[in-house]
């Protein structure tokens, strides 16, 4: 099927639509009127009724422009695949809730979104609601997110649902006034090789959900005034990747229990390349690489003594480094003595001295 100049709904599958294949389409101007449900591609079911919009495949679509969203999908609760979508520009007003490359609303599960791109958009790269669960997002890319002045716009990614997989989701936001650019409030999401960069003075990445995993995550926030990443939820895991920060601005800040950060490279000099707050009990922070000559990992006895913080190259803060051997905590105290304690030590001088510098 080939279509051209189809009006507001360039491709729309609505209500009882299943097992369709729509492909090889060029659209000159889609969704010229602003509405959150108008897009180059729209899949729409009915709220709460499990309307059968399932098994559809939409692929190989090129749109020159959209005044609303790129792809909008809502209330389908079914397996659909949308892939190979290019929108040259998306100009929807972000303050009106449009301008997103990919808008995934309520009751969307087990769908696959692949290779959806735009050189320039005004809203989110991905905006996925709390009932968007178990979806796969691969190669969703916006070269530039311009946004609009104000704390609610110009954001990059929001994942409020659970059990989603993101691979190579990439974007750069030039909106200096935007709030936290990428927010993960859902649980058990896995992100692989994603890239978030922004000119915001707030955080580029905020994770308030639990049990999320980040592999090879690259977060760049060279305009941040407090921190680049805020990891508040429990049991979040960062393996590998890179965080770029201004000098003396926090890179990733961990404030949730059972946090893991292993093999991360953090650029920038001065304090706070990584920061492990007192509330972040049982952390594992090891084998990270700090590039600044005077860079530090900020850590506090209350949390560090309950976990593992060790073998971090370039960390010039020698205090509060701990290792665990079964139930035993091993650390160097403030005087340089090596100590061991059965369980988390109550103070820096708890336990038994097992070695001295002499």
In the predicted structure, residue 7 carries a pLDDT above the cut 50? no
pLDDT the model gives residue 5: 45
Rounded CA gap, 94 and 263, in Å? Answer: 36
**Residue-wise pLDDT tens digits, 235-265:** 999 999 999 999 999 999 999 999 999 999 9
Q: What is the DSSP letter of 312?
A: -
pTM of the model: 0.91
% the chain with pLDDT above 70: 89
pLDDT the model gives residue 216: 98
Question: Token pair of 100, please?
Answer: 């997103």
Q: What is the DSSP letter of 313?
A: B
Rounded CA gap, 33 and 68, in Å? Answer: 7
- Three-state DSSP class for 304? helix
Q: What is the DSSP letter of 309?
A: E
**Do residues 122 and 91 lie in contact, with contact meaning Cβ atoms separated by under 8 Å?**
yes
Phi, psi of 302 (to 5 degrees): -60, -35
Rounded CA gap, 238 and 236, in Å? Answer: 7
Mean pLDDT of 195-210: 94
pLDDT the model gives residue 285: 98
Rounded CA gap, 101 and 119, in Å? Answer: 10
Where on the phi/psi map is residue 64: left (φ > 0), alpha (ψ -120 to 50), or beta? alpha
Q: What is the DSSP letter of 30?
A: B
pLDDT the model gives residue 350: 95
Looking up tokens 């091993």, which residue turns up? 330
Rounded CA gap, 318 and 297, in Å? Answer: 9
Of the pLDDT bands very low, low, confident and very high (cuts 50, 70, 90), residue 8 is very low
Q: What sign for the dihedral angle of Cα 238, 244, 248, 249?
A: negative
Question: Token pair of 178, please?
Answer: 């935007």
Rounded CA gap, 108 and 103, in Å? Answer: 11
Mean pLDDT of 145-170: 82
In the predicted structure, residue 156 carries a pLDDT above the cut 80? yes
- Beta bridge mates, 133: 109
Least confident of 59-68, 192-201, 262-271: 59-68
Rounded CA gap, 68 and 215, in Å? Answer: 32
Looking up tokens 């979508």, which residue turns up? 85
- Beta bridge mates, 73: 43, 104
- Beta bridge mates, 308: 284
How far, rounded to the nearest angstrom, does the alpha carbon of residue 260 sit from its chain's CA centroid? Answer: 16
Mean pLDDT of 211-217: 99
Of the pLDDT bands very low, low, confident and very high (cuts 50, 70, 90), residue 99 is confident
> Whole-number mean pLDDT of the chain?
87
In the predicted structure, residue 6 carries a pLDDT above the cut 60? no
């Amino acid at each position: 099927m080939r279509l051209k100049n189809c009006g507001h709904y360039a491709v729309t599958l609505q209500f009882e639509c299943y097992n369709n294949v729509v492909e090889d389409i060029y659209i000159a101007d889609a969704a010229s009127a602003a509405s959150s449900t108008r897009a180059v591609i729209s899949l729409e079911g009915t709220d709460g009724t499990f309307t059968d919009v399932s098994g559809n495949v939409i692929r190989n679509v090129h749109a020159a422009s959209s005044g609303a969203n790129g792809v909008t999908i809502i209330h389908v609760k079914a397996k659909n695949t949308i892939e190979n979508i290019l929108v040259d520009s998306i100009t929807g007003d972000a303050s009106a809730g449009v301008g997103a490359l990919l808008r995934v609303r309520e009751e969307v599960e087990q769908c696959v979104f692949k290779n959806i791109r735009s050189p320039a958009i005004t809203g989110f790269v991905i905006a996925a609601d709390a009932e968007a669960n178990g979806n796969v997002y691969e190669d969703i890319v916006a070269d530039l997110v311009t946004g609009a002045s104000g704390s609610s716009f110009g954001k990059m990614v929001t994942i409020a649902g659970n059990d989603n997989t993101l691979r190579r989701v990439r974007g750069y936001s030039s909106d200096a006034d935007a709030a936290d650019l990428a927010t993960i409030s859902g649980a058990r999401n896995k992100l692989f090789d994603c890239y978030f960069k922004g000119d915001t003075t707030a955080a580029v990445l905020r994770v308030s959900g639990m049990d999320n995993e980040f592999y090879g995550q690259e977060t760049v926030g060279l305009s941040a005034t407090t921190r680049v990443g805020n990891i508040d939820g429990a049991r979040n895991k960062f393996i590998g990747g890179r965080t770029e920060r201004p000098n003396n601005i926090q890179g990733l800040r961990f404030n949730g229990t059972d946090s893991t950060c292993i093999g991360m490279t953090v650029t920038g000099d001065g304090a706070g390349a990584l920061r492990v707050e007192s509330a972040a009990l049982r952390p594992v922070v090891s084998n990270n690489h700090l590039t600044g000559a005077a860079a530090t990992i900020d850590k506090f006895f209350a949390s560090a003594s309950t976990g593992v913080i060790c073998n971090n190259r370039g960390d010039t803060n020698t205090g509060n480094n701990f290792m665990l051997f079964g139930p035993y905590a091993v650390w160097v105290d403030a005087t340089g003595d090596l100590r061991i304690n059965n369980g988390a030590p109550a103070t820096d001088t708890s336990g038994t001295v097992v070695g001295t510098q002499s």
